Amino acid sequence: MEERIILGLTEEIMIKGPKRSEKIVARIDTGATASSLDFKLAERLQLKELKDSRIVKSASGVRRRPLVHVKVSIHGKELEGDFTLANRSHMTYALLIGQNILKAGNFLVDPSKKVSR
């Protein structure tokens, strides 16, 4: 049986675009069903919007958001999934890792663990 990686509430993530990658500290959110990415970060990485979108319920209401397909590396584990695009400029973290990626990576989350660098 594979040993599960324990994540904190924030983690350093490698996010990969078609021509460049970027290390970024992301918010780990077990309450979010989908992962989310800031529009400007997606633009920097040259990620292309999918033709599909998703309805997202958040503190700011219910909205339909565009999707991008993203590859990420968390503690050396390569994962990919659909991320919603949002304006996260007013938030501390441009990248939010939700349940879709956490389940795919079979991670555990320990709120007392500090960001790994």
Domains defined along the chain, listed by start = 6-109 (2.40.70.10)
Q: Is the pLDDT of residue 83 over 90?
A: yes
Q: What is the mean pLDDT of residues 50-62?
A: 75
Helix, strand, coil distribution of the chain in percent, nearest 5: 10, 50, 40
Look at residue 99 in the predicted model and tell me its pLDDT. 95
Q: How many residues does the chain have?
A: 117
Q: What is the mean pLDDT of residues 50-74?
A: 83
Q: Is the pLDDT of residue 25 over 60?
A: yes
Q: Is the pLDDT of residue 85 over 80?
A: yes
Look at residue 116 in the predicted model and tell me its pLDDT. 53
Look at residue 1 in the predicted model and tell me its pLDDT. 57
Q: What is the distance in angstroms between the CA of the first residue and the CA of the last residue of the chain?
A: 27
pTM: 0.88
Look at residue 114 in the predicted model and tell me its pLDDT. 74
**CB of 11 closer than 8 Å to CB of 101:** no
Name the residue with higher pLDDT: 65 or 114. 65
Look at residue 3 in the predicted model and tell me its pLDDT. 83
